[in-house]
Each structure stands twice: as structure tokens, then as C-alpha cells.
Amino acid sequence: QITEQIGPIAKLDKIQFVPGLPKTRSGKIMRRILRKIGAKDTDNLGDISTLLNPEVVQEIMDNAL
């Protein structure tokens, strides 16, 4: 149904429910970190010290599919 509504570019491989999203102090979601976790490149997440809730990154990695 997502492919029909959004288009063929929005094809999901998997869905993971998480307790929160890594956000900056200004409220922007750090999609770069989510992409790296999804690609299993967790050794080099970059600087996460600017996150409002850095603990959520570890929770997402612990529960990664």
C-alpha cells in the first residue's frame, strides 16, 4: 500500500518500532545516524554529543533487526 501511495521508491524492507528518535537540540531528526544503524555501520556514527537524547541511539542499536 505504501508503494501505491508514495511510489516505487518507497519500498520497505523492514519496520522497526523504537522508543524515540535521535534529535538535535533544535529538534531535527538525525537521519544520518538512522541510516548508519540501518546499514549496520555502527562503528562510525560520528559525533553524537550534540543530540538531545543520545541514549536512544544505543536503544535503537540494541533492538536493531
Q: Is residue 1 part of a domain?
A: no
Tell me the pLDDT band of 36, cut-offs 50, 70 and 90: very high
Q: Is residue 29 part of a domain?
A: yes
Which residue range is the domain that position 24 belongs to? 16-65
Q: Is residue 47 part of a domain?
A: yes
How many distinct structural domains can be found in the chain?
A: 1
Give me the residues paired with residue 51 across strands.
24
pLDDT tens track for 2-13 = 778 888 777 777
pLDDT tens track for 38-58 = 899 989 898 888 899 999 999
